Amino acid sequence: MNATHITHASFVTLPVSDQDRALRFYRDVLGFEVTADLDMPQGRWLQVAPKGAQTVFTLSGPGMGGFEPGSTRGIMLLTIDVDADVARLAEAGASVQGPDEHPWGRMASFTDPDGNGLMLLTEGQH
C-alpha cells in the first residue's frame, strides 16, 4: 500500500445561525484570530483559528453547504491551562462541564452559542 501524502486538515465546518455572534464567541471569548472574512456569491466565507494553527474553523452561516447549526460534536482543542479557559468560558456565559481528570489529561466540554460541542484538554497530569 502506498503512503499517504496528506499533511493536515485544512478546515472544519462549524455551522452557525448567526456568523457575527459566532465570530464574537470564537474571537473574543476563545481568542481565535480571523483568517478569512470574504463576501462570496453564495454568502460570507468566515474562518477563524487559534494563533498559528494549521487547521481553521469555517463559521458556516445558514444556507451554506446545507449544514445544521449546532450539529458539530467532538472537536478537541488543546490548551496549556484548561482551568483558566473554563473560568473564562463560564464568565462569558458558555455552558461548560468540567474540568475532570482522565488518564490522558484534564478535560472539559462546552458548547458554542449554537450548540456545537467542543472540548478542551490539557494533556498529561498536572
Is residue 111 assigned to a domain? yes
Is residue 95 assigned to a domain? yes
Segment 70-77 shows an average pLDDT of: 93
pLDDT tens across 91-126, in order? 999 999 999 999 989 999 999 999 999 999 998 754
pTM confidence score: 0.88
Is residue 40 assigned to a domain? yes
For the chain, what is the domain count? 1
Residue 48: which residues within 8 A CB-CB, separation 6 or more?
23, 26, 27, 32, 33, 34, 35, 56, 57, 59
% of the chain exceeding 90 in pLDDT: 76
Which residue range(s) make up the domain with 114?
A: 11-63+70-123
Is residue 6 assigned to a domain? no
pLDDT tens across 24-40, in order? 999 999 999 999 999 98
The CATH number given to whatever domain includes residue 75 is 3.10.180.10
Is residue 113 assigned to a domain? yes
Burial 69-88 (b: 16+ CB within 10 A, else e): bbebeeeebebeebeebbee
Is residue 4 assigned to a domain? no
Is residue 42 assigned to a domain? yes
